[in-house]
Amino acid sequence: MSGPLEGLIVADFSRVLAGPYATMLLGDLGATVIKVERPGTGDDTRTCSPPVDDHGDATYFLSVNRNKYSVAWDLDEAADRARARDLAERADIFIENFPAGALDKRDLGYDDVASINADVIYCSISGFGPEADLPGYDLLVQAMGGLMDITGDTEPTKAGVAIVDVITGLHAVNAILAALHHRDRTGEGQHLEVTLLGSLLSALVNQTGSAAITGESPERMGNAHPSVSPYEPYPTADRPIVIAVGNDQQFARLCEALQHPDWAIDPRFATNTARVDNRELLRTLLTDALQTRGADEWQSLLNAVRVPCGPINTVNQALELADRLNLTPIIEIDGVMQIANPVRYSRTPVTYRLRPPHLGEHCIDEVLG
């Protein structure tokens, strides 16, 4: 068995990141994913470089396109459009992120596909929904969706990765799996609509929740937390360390380790609410106390008393950490290095069957028979 979704066919008409990330996860779980790309150019991320691997392939594309077959079809050509409709008729899942109406003009919209495949799970991904004539780029949604306004210090700052696309891809997979369960019980397919803006607003959790309840927009606070303290990086004798105190008991243990047990019973710091109200004073006191040792020594001491803390790692250091913890963060498929699927299944493990495909390297008849 190659995974819990073995036997399901995914018609992947998506490109860039949110959709391809979703279909890669479905492929990891055993689904047969047919990636439909434009002849000549393919997925936009094939040209998102540098960096590239030793073969000149963009690492961006390679990061989200394993476990897929690639066909190159021009949907404006009748023959290729017929091939696409045949795939849509056979698919269990159809996923796309074309501009609104673009696939309807090519007889591949939801109504068109459902007319020949009534139980299809058809997932449409867009930036702002079908009624908005706006391009769905992650950076725009980070800006227009409020994430940049609450990120950074003095200036609004984007996240270091297209995190909205990733979150949207995860929501898409969640929705698809729920729709498959509904289909198993009832035989009914359905149309799913997932937006980057909606996904981001959901992912802002306490920040959007606060705005909805109080009517006030959260303020940008740099690395500080609006509702928890101490919960940010602090300088030490050599480099910063992050301290993430989640409750009063952890704070008391921190004070003991810093040889200031009196802080834990000081009315200004005894509760989390008091610590948030007196954040600046507490930051000054902690910074002074932490200057006596380096970050590694503090981490060892604080971990020993169960105070959450850690250094600010580079990406390579984070991969090394995961490797030391036996999380196996990197796998290899036919010479292509990949970041592993993060979920471990006790009975239906993910499989890595196909390296990211070259443009149009597969024949649909050979894949599906």
What residues are labeled active site? 165
For 126, the enclosing helix (H) or strand (E) is strand 121-126
| Cβ atoms within 10 Å of 297's Cβ, excluding its own | 14
> Which residue is listed with tokens 């200057």?
291
Contacts of 10 (CB under 8 A, 6+ apart): 23, 26, 27, 31, 32, 33, 34, 91, 92, 93, 94, 95
Q: Is 357 helix (H, G, I), strand (E, B) or coil?
A: coil
Beta bridge partners of 34: 11, 69
Residues 243/232, Cβ–Cβ less than 8 Å: yes
CA distances from 354 to 14, 37, 68, 164, 361 (A): 18, 17, 6, 26, 12
Among 319, 344, 343, 318, which Cα is nearest to 330's?
319
CA distances from 80 to 17, 99, 105, 137 (A): 24, 19, 14, 28
CA distance 288 to 314: 26
DSSP 326: T
For 181, the enclosing helix (H) or strand (E) is helix 163-186
For 325, the enclosing helix (H) or strand (E) is none
CA distances from 323 to 257, 303, 326, 335, 356 (A): 29, 20, 5, 19, 23
Residue 14 has φ and ψ, to the nearest 5°, of: -105, 165
Residues 159/147, Cβ–Cβ less than 8 Å: yes
